[in-house]
């Protein structure tokens, strides 16, 4: 047996077991967990097999893992048998849990030590670690936890399900990519709104294309491309360590090394939405590698880069079908000839642009005939031109028909970055303060805009937003609709505008900013910087700003001191679009703001003492998303939290991977009504004095995998009405006196079948439980006759992990 057989055998055994483990409905949640663990093991064992090919390591190195896989194989055979009794079912449930636990333990200890010893041995043999940067710098990503989900950073988005009129372009593009081996690059060119991105995403999911290209990478370039960030994401996507580059030359060199390592399997790189000034950037991606092709979408041609495929607007028949699809139900009891004449006039105006047809059709959906006529009469006569200004003109009536508040909300969307995937919670926080509406009303604004296809709402898997939790709902907007919002805002004069955008690229400020001599009257200010920004600010007077959006890409970022003068500021959101959390400094500029109610930090490196020490008397909500906290101070701090944060009602901590314990001061926020600590995979416990939070109404702890218990004092949270412990797979028990929570009306506890329910739970009345099939069977079936008005809803909905990479773009 050759030296590499050990790793190869493990990989093949895993692949066979995964297919079998997914078949058993009787153990559905557990079998899914086991299959998921084994799927993550495959690339690790394959990598070890390759490394072992150059060393004298053999099968014995992986014997412990092979023994565990054999136990899993035996269990799979047992699970095939039908008619399993409750006792055997419970026993096998525990056995599967043990096998999964042993696999995780192996990955977190022995497997990492094995790879470390392997690399050290290789370095000793080669004598040069630098030559191994792209050869052996791959991370050993352990299954628990794997975030952030780097493997999805450059994945192709899911295509539109029902395409109309793209059959011929799809066929023609496939032929060019599959049949012409001499074709190294191709540009798909069309005016905005013609469906370039829709076509290309559909193409990338075609089975013939996937068969030709094993590696398909997708990146939205847009107006402010960053080669170093693009290459950094490509490396992470392919499992390499986080490498940073001092300049574009280093990034281009690393890109070449990566492509040469992947050669032979077929590589397709899709660069979406490339602007006309970026031809030099495109040429940096042209690298002579066998089987490597580049597909570009753009409004512009790049003749020196590659041939152009012109995507035409929809043919009349397809355009009509698409319009009817989005406008249905159509007006009833209409004269067919008259209605067809209306359709033709609308289609003529839409010029075959899918985005225009989609928006116009949605605005007419279910409307009476006289409104269709009014839409047509509102347009001036004349031939439509296929350029951006004409598309905006076609969309103008859709904006005009919006109610005034919805118009304002739509215009606000132009303040976000191009192609940005935005959590709904970010937008809702801003709208709650700008328009003095509740979160439910703000969510309705998003739904209203989405119903007219002026933006899109993408859920990450669950309908948690129905309970007022909007972190798992993504908002996106087509470029041309964002341009429409910006175009409308330009009707307001200069610095008198309600919304102002400041873009700082390569540390260069716009001319109007450098010569600023008067106050800015905007209510919403958006500032974006790239990774070259040095935090050297010119003073700005912004007395009327109520909402401030900061988008950054640098590793260190000092908040501008002029924020201290924004006395009307109500909401501050800071989003870092770089790979690693950015260190944020100069928080002291916030301490003098009397009206600041909401602060949100995403992908930032902070300590949990930064904000309490500021004494923000009006602060009502703090949000930390994908933040790194470093050392958390758990001891009693010398701050009276009740005085430092007297108005704080909500704390939201999501996807903060290094948080293993909440700081003590959280239990001292006596005004707190909502505490959400979700997807924090290292969190093991909550503060013991939870009973101090006497006003707490909502406690969310979903997907905190290592949380093993709730404090016994939790039974004193007498105002708690909603508890979410879904996917807390390590949770083994609830407090003994859990039944004292008389106001508890709703629990979400998917995948909590191993959590023991205390007898006191029988004292709860009118309880609604949302769980999976296994949890219902193991925990709640026996209690249905004992609990008054118990309602159990089974939901199998899973998180859409493929969309999590959106947060990092």
pLDDT at 335: 85
| Mean pLDDT, rounded, for 188-193 | 85
**pLDDT of 376 higher than 90:** no
pLDDT at 362: 85
DSSP string, 473-513: EEEE--HHHHHHHHHHHTTS-GGGSSEEEEEEBTTB--HHH
> Whole-angstrom Cα distance, residue 533 to residue 401?
41
Q: Which residues pair with 558 in a beta bridge?
A: 585
Predicted TM-score (pTM) of this structure: 0.69
Alpha helices in 213-295 (DSSP H): 227-237, 248-262, 279-284
For residue 202, what pLDDT band results from cuts at 50, 70 and 90?
Answer: very high
CA-CA distances (angstroms) from residue 94 to 40, 88, 753, 768?
Answer: 22, 10, 11, 27
* Residue 412: cis peptide before it, omega within 30 degrees of 0: no
- Quote the percentage of the chain above a pLDDT of 70: 76
For residue 761, what pLDDT band results from cuts at 50, 70 and 90?
Answer: very high
Using DSSP's 3-state secondary structure scheme, residue 724 falls into strand
3-state SS record for 328-347? CCCCCCCCHHHHHHHHHHHH
* Measured CA angle at 521 (ends 517, 527), to 5 deg: 85
Encode burial over 509-519: b for 16+ CB neighbours within 10 A, e otherwise: beeebeebeee
Phi, psi (deg, nearest 5) at residue 674: -135, 125
> Whole-angstrom Cα distance, residue 351 to residue 356?
8
> Whole-angstrom Cα distance, residue 357 to residue 314?
10
pLDDT at 383: 41
DSSP 779: I
Instruction: Report the length, in residues, of the chain.
Output: 809
119/317: higher pLDDT: 317
Angle subtended by helix axes 336-350 and 354-364, to nearest 10: 140
State pLDDT tens for residues 129-179: 344 444 434 443 333 333 444 556 788 988 876 678 889 999 999 999 998
508's tokens:
């260069």
| Mean pLDDT, rounded, for 745-756 | 92
Name all domains of the chain by residue range, CATH numbers in brackets.
Answer: 5-144 (no CATH), 167-310 (3.40.50.300), 316-400 (1.10.8), 404-480 (1.10.10)
104/680: higher pLDDT: 680
735/110: higher pLDDT: 735
Contact 431, 437 (CB under 8 A): yes
| Mean pLDDT, rounded, for 217-234 | 87
Contact 531, 228 (CB under 8 A): yes
> Whole-angstrom Cα distance, residue 728 to residue 774?
14
> Whole-angstrom Cα distance, residue 694 to residue 714?
10
Least confident of 100-114, 348-362, 497-511, 789-803: 100-114
**pLDDT of 397 higher than 90:** no
Q: What is the enclosing helix (H) or strand (E) of 350?
A: helix 336-350
Contact 437, 772 (CB under 8 A): no
State pLDDT tens for residues 679-713: 998 899 898 888 899 999 999 999 999 998 899 88
DSSP string, 377-395: HTSPPS---SSHHHHHHHH
**pLDDT of 99 higher than 90:** no
**pLDDT of 402 higher than 70:** yes
Least confident of 124-128, 464-468, 654-658: 124-128
Contact 155, 264 (CB under 8 A): no
**pLDDT of 807 higher than 50:** no
Which residues, 6+ apart, have CB-to-CB distance to 568 below 8 Å? 543, 544, 545, 546, 595
| Mean pLDDT, rounded, for 595-617 | 88
State pLDDT tens for residues 301-353: 898 899 999 998 889 999 999 999 888 888 887 888 888 888 888 888 787 88
Distance of alpha carbon 407 from its chain centroid, rounded?
Answer: 26
* β-strands 547-552, 571-576 pairing: parallel
DSSP string, 607-657: -TTTTGGG--TT--EEEEES-B--S---SPPSS-HHHHSTT--EEEEES-T
Q: Which residues pair with 550 in a beta bridge?
A: 527, 574
Contact 670, 647 (CB under 8 A): no
**pLDDT of 645 higher than 70:** yes
Percent helix, percent strand, percent coil in the chain, to nearest 5: 45, 15, 40
Provide the phi-psi class of 400: left if phi over 0, else alpha when psi is between -120 and 50, else beta. alpha
Alpha helices in 109-157 (DSSP H): 110-126
Least confident of 260-264, 327-331, 379-383, 499-503: 379-383
* β-strands 422-423, 473-476 pairing: antiparallel
State pLDDT tens for residues 550-567: 999 888 889 999 999 999
| Mean pLDDT, rounded, for 413-419 | 90
The CB density around residue 436, as the number of other CB atoms within 10 Å, is 9
**pLDDT of 380 higher than 60:** no
pLDDT at 549: 97
Q: What is the enclosing helix (H) or strand (E) of 396?
A: helix 388-400
For residue 521, what pLDDT band results from cuts at 50, 70 and 90?
Answer: confident
82/608: higher pLDDT: 608
| Mean pLDDT, rounded, for 588-608 | 91
pLDDT at 396: 80
pLDDT at 239: 80
DSSP string, 152-179: GTTPPPPPPSS-SS-HHHHHHHHHHHHH
State pLDDT tens for residues 258-315: 999 888 889 999 999 898 888 889 999 999 999 999 999 998 889 889 999 999 888 9
């Amino acid at each position: 047996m050759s030296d590499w057989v050990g790793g190869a055998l493990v990989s093949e055994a895993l692949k066979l077991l995964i297919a079998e483990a997914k078949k058993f409905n009787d153990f559905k949640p557990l079998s899914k967990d086991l299959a998921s663990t084994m799927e993550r093991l495959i690339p690790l064992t394959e990598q070890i097999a390759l490394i072992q090919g150059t060393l004298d390591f053999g099968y014995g190195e992986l014997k412990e893992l092979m023994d565990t896989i054999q136990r899993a194989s035996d269990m799979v055979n047992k699970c095939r048998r039908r008619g399993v009794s409750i006792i055997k079912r419970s026993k096998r449930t525990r056995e599967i849990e043990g096998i999964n636990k042993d696999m995780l333990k192996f990955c977190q200890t022995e497997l990492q030590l094995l790879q470390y010893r392997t690399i050290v041995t290789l370095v000793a043999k080669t004598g040069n670690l630098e030559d191994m940067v792209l050869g052996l710098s791959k991370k050993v990503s352990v299954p628990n936890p794997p975030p952030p989900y780097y493997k999805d950073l450059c994945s192709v988005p899911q295509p539109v399900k029902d395409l109309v009129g793209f059959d011929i372009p799809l066929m023609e593009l496939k032929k060019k990519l599959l049949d012409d081996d001499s074709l190294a690059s191709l540009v798909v060119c069309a005016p905005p709104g013609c469906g370039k991105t829709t076509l290309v995403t559909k193409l990338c999911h075609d089975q013939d294309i996937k068969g030709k290209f094993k590696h398909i990478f997708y990146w939205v370039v847009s107006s402010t491309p960053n080669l170093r960030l693009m290459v950094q994401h490509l490396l992470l996507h392919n499992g390499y360590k986080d490498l940073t580059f001092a300049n574009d030359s280093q990034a281009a060199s690393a890109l070449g090394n990566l492509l040469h390592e992947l050669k032979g399997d077929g590589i397709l790189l899709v660069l979406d939405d490339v602007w006309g000034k970026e031809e030099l950037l495109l040429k940096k991606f042209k690298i002579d590698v066998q089987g490597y092709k580049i597909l570009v979408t753009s409004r512009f041609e790049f003749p020196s880069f590659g041939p152009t495929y012109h995507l035409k607007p929809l043919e009349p028949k397809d355009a009509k079908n698409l319009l009817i699809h989005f406008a249905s139900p159509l007006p009833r009891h209409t004269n067919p000839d008259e209605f067809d004449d209306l359709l033709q006039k609308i289609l003529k105006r839409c010029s075959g642009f899918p985005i225009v047809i989609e928006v116009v059709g949605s605005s007419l959906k279910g409307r009476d005939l006289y409104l269709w006529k009014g839409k047509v009469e509102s347009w001036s006569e004349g031939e439509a031109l296929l350029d951006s200004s004409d598309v905006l003109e076609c969309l103008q009536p859709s904006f005009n028909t919006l109610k005034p508040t919805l118009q304002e909300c739509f215009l606000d969307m132009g303040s976000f970055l191009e192609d940005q995937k935005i959590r709904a919670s970010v937008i809702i926080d801003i709208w709650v303060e700008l328009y003095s509406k509740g979160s439910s009303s703000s969510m309705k604004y998003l739904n209203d805009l989405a119903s007219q296809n002026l933006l899109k709402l993408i859920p990450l898997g669950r309908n948690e937003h129905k309970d007022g939790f909007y972190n798992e709902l993504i908002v996106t907007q087509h470029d041309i609709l964002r341009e429409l919002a910006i175009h409308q805002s330009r009707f307001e004069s200069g610095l008198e505008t309600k919304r102002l955008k400041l873009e700082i690229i390569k540390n260069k400020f716009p001319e109007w900013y450098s010569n600023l001599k008067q106050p800015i009257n905007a209510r919403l200010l958006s500032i974006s910087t790239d990774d070259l920004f040095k935090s050297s600010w010119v003073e700005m007077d912004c007395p009327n700003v109520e909402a401030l959006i900061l988008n950054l890409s640098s590793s260190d970022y000092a908040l501008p001191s002029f924020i201290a003068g924004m006395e009307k500021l109500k909401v501050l959101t800071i989003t870092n679009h770089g790979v690693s959390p950015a260190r944020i400094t100069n928080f002291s500029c916030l301490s003098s703001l009397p009206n600041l109610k909401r602060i949100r930090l995403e992908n930032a490196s902070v300590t949990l003492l930064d904000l309490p020490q500021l004494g923000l008397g009006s602060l009502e909500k703090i949000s930390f998303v994908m933040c790194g906290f470093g050392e958390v101070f758990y001891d009693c701090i010398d701050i009276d939290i009740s005085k430092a944060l007297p108005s704080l009602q909500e704390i939201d901590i999501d996807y903060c991977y290094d948080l293993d314990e909440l700081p003590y001061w959280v239990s001292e926020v006596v005004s707190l009504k909502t505490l959400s600590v979700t997807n924090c995979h290292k969190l093991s416990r909550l503060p013991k004095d939870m009973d101090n939070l006497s006003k707490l109404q909502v406690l969310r702890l979903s997907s905190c995998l290592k949380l093993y218990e709730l404090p016994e004092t939790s039974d004193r949270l007498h105002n708690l009405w909603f508890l979410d412990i879904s996917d807390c797979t390590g949770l083994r028990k609830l407090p003994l006196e859990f039944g004292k929570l008389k106001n508890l009306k709703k629990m979400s506890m998917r995948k909590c079948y191993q959590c023991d329910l205390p007898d006191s739970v029988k004292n709860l009345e009118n309880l609604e439980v949302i769980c999976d099939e296994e949890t219902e069977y193991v925990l709640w079936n026996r209690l249905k006759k004992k609990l008054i008005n118990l309602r159990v809803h089974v939901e199998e909905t899973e998180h859409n992990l493929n969309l999590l990479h959106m947060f990092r773009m």
